[in-house]
Amino acid sequence: MKSFDYVRPTTVAEAIAAMASPGAAFLASGTNLLDLMKTGAARPGRLVDITRLAGLDRIERLADGGFRIGALVRNADLAHDAAFFRAFPAVAEALLSGASAQLRNAATVGGNLMQKTRCAYFYDPASACNRRDPGSGCDALEGENRLHAVLGWSPSCIAVHPSDFCVPLVALDAAVEIEGRDGRREIALEALHRLPGDAPARETGLAPGELVTGLHLPASAAAFASHARYLKLRERTSYAFAVVSAAAALDIEDGTIRAARLALGGVAAKPWRARAAEQDLAGASPGPAAFRRAAEAALADARPSGDNGFKIELARRLVARALSLAARGTPQRLPALPGSPFSSHPGAVS
Ligand code: SF4
């Protein structure tokens, strides 16, 4: 392993200043970065340990009913926060469907947003990978690619973003708080992750040295709390990334969908907001016909990037299932296996 500096600042300003060193990387719980360093896929010259930064470990309910979540809040702590679950149950379900209990206890909210793709070639320095080593090629194109992208990909990179958490967050218009040398700013989470285009190594909209300090969920997102689900198809029942996933949230009044939110995971290099499907659902009666139409709209632009054409129909069916379960009502308690599309839990409209 390449040797590196280690610094542990106590303020955000110190952390941002420490990132001026060439090859510096932020370190929180390290559940992704340390894996990358062990394989040699990441070789930082300096680790800036942000775990002692004050004030980034709080879950705050705002006066307007929204929530602010510090970047260092642990995934498990957020998922089990009762007030947060009541307001944003699909987000809690997504968190609890991810990784393992041990990882959820360690991993942070900010780290979840910033995690790298799980494309196996990205983790193997002997493989060609434009995302890790720009201009080197993409071994996934002719390789093992059945879990790769079906939306928004380019010949430069067909990788997918692995987060569960980000999928309902994007559906619910979450925003990201960022601090850097030029001060503080806030952007929509949907704008944080980038599609590969011809520059897949540029994965996010962050400027060099910028730090994600928190996440903001607007009060308006809580209007969907009664009809919200996150479903995840995976190759094992736990501790596996999504083959495809869907976050569905409905605002239903008098038997009509007033508004819908829908996003997909495991299909693109970013969580994929399905706005055309949302528009189709607005004003419709909840039911199989409307949900199938929405699923068709959500995947209208999908095309295989390799041996993964099966994911397109799988995603359509998962979208329809997620909408159907959301329409039945958010469960009062999460199913024993959060995110399972096979759960027979009937839901309970409140
Ligand atoms: Fe690298 Fe992307 Fe190709 Fe995977 S799909 S090898 S991450 S360029």
Alpha-carbon distances, residue 350 vs 169, 225, 227, 247, 332 (angstroms): 22, 9, 9, 19, 8
pLDDT tens for each residue of 65-106: 999 999 999 999 999 999 999 999 999 999 999 999 999 999
Residue 280 CB–ligand 1 contact under 6 Å:
no
φ, ψ dihedrals at 257, nearest 5°: -80, 115
How is residue 61 written in tokens?
A: 């309910």
Q: How far is the CA of 169 from the centre of ligand 1 (A)?
A: 25
Residues linked to residue 264 through DSSP beta bridges, in sequence order: 246, 272
How is residue 24 written in tokens?
A: 């510096």
Q: Which atom of ligand 1 is nearest to the CA of 127?
A: 6
**61/235 Cα distance (integer angstroms):** 36
259-288 mean pLDDT: 98
Residue 236 counted as domain residue = yes
pLDDT tens for each residue of 65-76: 999 999 999 999
- What is the pTM (predicted TM-score) of this model? 0.96
Residue 274, Cβ density class (10 Å: 0-12 exposed, 13-18 middle, ≥19 buried): buried
- For residue 272, give its domain range: 226-328
Residue 350 above 80 pLDDT? no
Q: How far is the CA of 112 from the centre of ligand 1 (A)?
A: 20
Query: Within a 13 Å sphere around the CA of 106, how many CA atoms are in the beta-carbon half?
Result: 10
Band (349; pLDDT cuts 50, 70, 90): very low
Residue 343 counted as domain residue = no
Residue 149 counted as domain residue = no
Residue 345 above 60 pLDDT? no
Q: How far is the CA of 1 from the centre of ligand 1 (A)?
A: 23
Residue 346 above 60 pLDDT? no
Residue 5 counted as domain residue = yes
Residue 117 CB–ligand 1 contact under 6 Å:
yes
Ligand 1 test: best mutation among 124, 130, 147, most atoms within 8 Å of CB? 130
Residue 233 counted as domain residue = yes
- Amino acid 97 reads S
pLDDT tens for each residue of 161-199: 999 999 999 999 999 999 999 999 999 999 999 999 999
Q: How far is the CA of 205 from the centre of ligand 1 (A)?
A: 19
**Ligand 1: which residue has its CA nearest to atom 7?**
122
Alpha-carbon distances, residue 149 vs 62, 128, 145, 252, 269 (angstroms): 37, 18, 8, 32, 7
Domain's final residue, options 10, 29, 52: 52
Ligand 1 test: best mutation among 115, 131, 151, most atoms within 8 Å of CB? 131
Provide, for the chain, the percentages of residues in helix, strand and coil under a 3-state DSSP scheme, each rounded to the nearest 5: 30, 20, 50
Q: Which atom of ligand 1 is nearest to the CA of 120?
A: 4
When divided into structural domains, the chain yields a total of: 2
CATH of the domain at 281: 3.30.390.50
Residue 155 counted as domain residue = no
Cβ–Cβ < 8 Å for 324, 346 = no
Residue 203 CB–ligand 1 contact under 6 Å:
no
Q: Which atom of ligand 1 is nearest to the CA of 128?
A: 6
Strand pairing of 59-61 and 67-70? antiparallel
Residue 198 counted as domain residue = no
Q: What whole-number percentage of the chain has pLDDT above 70? A: 98
Q: What is the pLDDT of residue 344?
A: 62
**187/212 Cα distance (integer angstroms):** 10
- Closest-CA residue to 264 (of 250, 283, 243, 280): 243
Q: What is the pLDDT of residue 284?
A: 98
Q: What SS3 state is found at 46?
A: strand
**Ligand 1: which residue has its CA nearest to atom 3?**
138
Residue 162 CB–ligand 1 contact under 6 Å:
no
Q: How far is the CA of 77 from the centre of ligand 1 (A)?
A: 33
Residue 286 CB–ligand 1 contact under 6 Å:
no
Q: What is the pLDDT of residue 347?
A: 46
Residue 165 CB–ligand 1 contact under 6 Å:
no
CATH of the domain at 11: 3.30.43.10
Average pLDDT, the chain: 96
Residue 154 counted as domain residue = no
Residue 151 CB–ligand 1 contact under 6 Å:
no
Q: Which atom of ligand 1 is nearest to the CA of 130?
A: 8
pLDDT tens for each residue of 22-52: 999 999 999 999 999 999 999 999 999 999 9
- Backbone region of residue 217 per phi and psi (left: phi > 0; alpha: psi in -120 to 50; beta: other values): beta
Rounded to 5°, angle at Cα 317 from 312 and 318 = 95
42-64 mean pLDDT: 97
